Structure 1
Amino acid sequence: MIVDLPDTTTSKISKALVKIREEGGAVALGRVLTLVISTKLGHEEEAIEAANDASREHPMRVIVISAGTDGPPATDDEPRLDAQIRVGGDAGASEVVVLKAYGDTASDEEGLVTGLLLPDAPVVAWWPDEAPAIASQSPLGRIAQRRITDAAAQSDPRGFLDHLAETYAPGDTDFAWTRLTLWRAQLAAVLDQPPYEAITGIEVHGSPDSPSTFLLAAWLQMQLDVPAKHELVSPAYGSTGIQGVRLTRAAGVIELERISATISTLLQPNQPDHDIWLPRRSLRDCLAEELRRLDPDDLFGEVILHGLADLDAPSRFPTPTTKAADK
């Protein structure tokens, strides 16, 4: 069910939610958090779809606040708040409140959402597009326990990581880190098998627009206490992001190399090659993972604050030399 509330106020939206609940169209009980999404006008639907899918694992209230221009300039300059409430099949296991703010109304994000937050429930803020200058000090960041940005969506992904390190506060996280979960789990599983030899060399390569490549190199360097080389290469197989990892030890080289947009091959000395399902993670998967924990991600904090600073400058566009690259 979708209820449109043009030219409205936060108070009227709150009353409409109560009315919908009393009429049995939605039940607020069981909501575990409030997810506040800040995006641009016209960019709401992809984020809402991801939140609806994630809500099946984390029942929640989703508040989407968008500002900008999507009509005639004279109209968009006038202070106005249009809202839409989605429940039932149009909202997954959540209830979605979409706020479209125009003119001066858009300047008070905190005021717009405060009266709509679930009482006594954690708040998570997510910026799927352009991030605020300092997430923790932004209007929405001040009321949130967790703050999610996406370095890959910024105009300078690598520069944004440095900026995030400068402005980091406990509770900050970024999807560039979340996209590494499958890679980190696979590499950790490999190193948890014999022979238990020390790693003496690390190489990570990925596309130039991949902030995850830098974070993976920083994490490996921190965990293994070995300098990591990271190389920026032209994206292959139609997939941006991380392209491969090489770990060197006495018994030989371990390689986890992308051979398609969704498949990577694991090469190890004296073992058969293994093809592994390793696609780029969707917004839904990243969001659902971040919502599983509402406490600060201390490991991400260590990597962003200390690991990145210790990385050497990357080399660019090397010629592929791995077996997997020839496939």
Structure 2
Amino acid sequence: MIVDLPETTVSAVAKTLVKVREEGGAVALGRVLTLIIATRAEVMEEAIDAANDASREHPMRVIVVTTAPDADPRLDAQIRVGGDAGASEVIVLAASGAAASNEESLVTGLLLPDAPVVVWWPDNPPTAPAESPLGRIAQRRITDASTLPQDVDRVALLGPSYSPGDTDLAWTRLTHWREQLAAVLDQPPYESITAVEVQGADDSPSTGLLAAWLKLKLDCDVTWHYQPRDSWGEGIKSVRLTRASGDIVLERPEPGIAVLTQPGQPDHELLLPRRTVRECLAEELRRLDADVLYGRVISDGWAQLGPAATAQR
């Protein structure tokens, strides 16, 4: 069910939501959190689709906020429940002019009572998410350094602006890479890693984050650089771990497939596709406490990586 509310108020939206639930039999019981999506109209539906998919694992209320401060003052809203919202209730708020001046006041009356609040910026996040109007009311704040503004140097800005509760989907995309590498190092021979090389696409912030994680965990020389666009399309290309008995290489010869090469063992082919936004969002919603390791990687790990390991374009 979709209910459009043109030129409305937040109070009217809240009353209509209660009415829709009562008439349609939908209830808010079982909703575990409120997810606020602060986005642009151009990417709004894609973000809603990702949230709806994640809501099958995490039933929630989704509040989508788009703003146009320079337009005429008004608030348009839309309520989606039932099949049009997956396992969620979706409230879309399009605020313009003076109505867009205070994002916090737009959502405060629509939050689920006594439930955690998560804010997600699919692109163009504030410089310091925790200090933004929406970030101040949230337990978790999700950004994505791989989206607009398109600049891999954004990774360097994650540490200075970090507050407990912040995370970035460029980090979440590394989960399977980190699992595979950790599994390899848990097997004999238990030799120290003396050097690491990480390669990835020229627009992949995850490349630098993986290098910073390896630097933090292995405390050895780590180099990283980007593959030209015409040789590798997206994401991480390869990781090479050097130790006395020979190199361990985890490399994707093509997107989605990785080959693990180890001394004295046959090569292993692994499924290692680039993770979707839906998968990453669902993973981040599984934990509402601060990701301490992420905080250490973007601060200590990145600092230890040092300016000598900057990208070679």
TM-score when normalising by structure 1: 0.92
Partners of 1:192 and 1:107 in 2: CA distance: 52
Residue 62 of structure 1 aligns with an amino acid whose one-letter code is V
Residue among 291, 300, 310 paired with 1:314: 310
**Does 2:149 match 1:155?**
yes
Deviation at 1:133, TM superposition (A): 1.9
Moved over 6 A (4+): none
- Give the equivalent residue in structure 2 for 1:2: 2
**Does 2:98 match 1:97?**
no
- Give the equivalent residue in structure 1 for 2:289: 295
Partners of 2:107 and 2:100 in 1: CA distance: 11
Pairwise CA RMSD: 1.4
Pick closer, same or farther for the CA change 1:84–1:164 going to 2, 3 Å. Answer: same
Identity of aligned residues (%): 64
Deviation at 1:28, TM superposition (A): 0.4
- Give the equivalent residue in structure 1 for 2:177: 183
Q: Runs of 5+ in structure 1 lacking a partner?
A: 70-75, 318-327
Deviation at 1:158, TM superposition (A): 3.0
- Give the equivalent residue in structure 2 for 1:68: 68
- Give the equivalent residue in structure 2 for 1:20: 20
Partners of 2:99 and 2:42 in 1: CA distance: 17
- Give the equivalent residue in structure 2 for 1:247: 241
Q: Would the aligned equivalents of 1:125 and 1:146 in 2 still touch at CA under 8 Å?
A: yes
Deviation at 1:315, TM superposition (A): 4.8
Residue among 256, 262, 283 paired with 1:262: 256
Residue 22 of structure 2 aligns with an amino acid whose one-letter code is E
> 3-state DSSP class of the match of 1:77?
coil
Partners of 1:245 and 1:147 in 2: CA distance: 29
> 3-state DSSP class of the match of 1:199?
coil
Residue 48 of structure 1 aligns with an amino acid whose one-letter code is I
Q: Would the aligned equivalents of 2:66 and 2:94 in 1 still touch at CA under 8 Å?
A: yes
- Give the equivalent residue in structure 1 for 2:112: 118
- Give the equivalent residue in structure 1 for 2:58: 58
- Give the equivalent residue in structure 2 for 1:41: 41
Deviation at 1:236, TM superposition (A): 6.2
Residue among 71, 81, 87 paired with 2:75: 81
> 3-state DSSP class of the match of 1:19?
helix
Q: Would the aligned equivalents of 1:232 and 1:316 in 2 still touch at CA under 8 Å?
A: yes
Partners of 1:206 and 1:307 in 2: CA distance: 18
**Residues 158-206 of structure 1: CA distance to partner in whole angstroms, max 9, x if unpaired?**
3322222111110010011000001000100111111111111100011
> 3-state DSSP class of the match of 2:29?
coil
Deviation at 1:68, TM superposition (A): 3.1
Partners of 1:100 and 1:238 in 2: CA distance: 39
1:213-252 paired onto structure 2 within 5 Å: 213-235=207-229, 239-252=233-246
Q: Runs of 5+ in structure 2 lacking a partner?
A: none
Q: Would the aligned equivalents of 2:201 and 2:232 in 1 still touch at CA under 8 Å?
A: no
Q: Would the aligned equivalents of 2:200 and 2:232 in 1 still touch at CA under 8 Å?
A: no
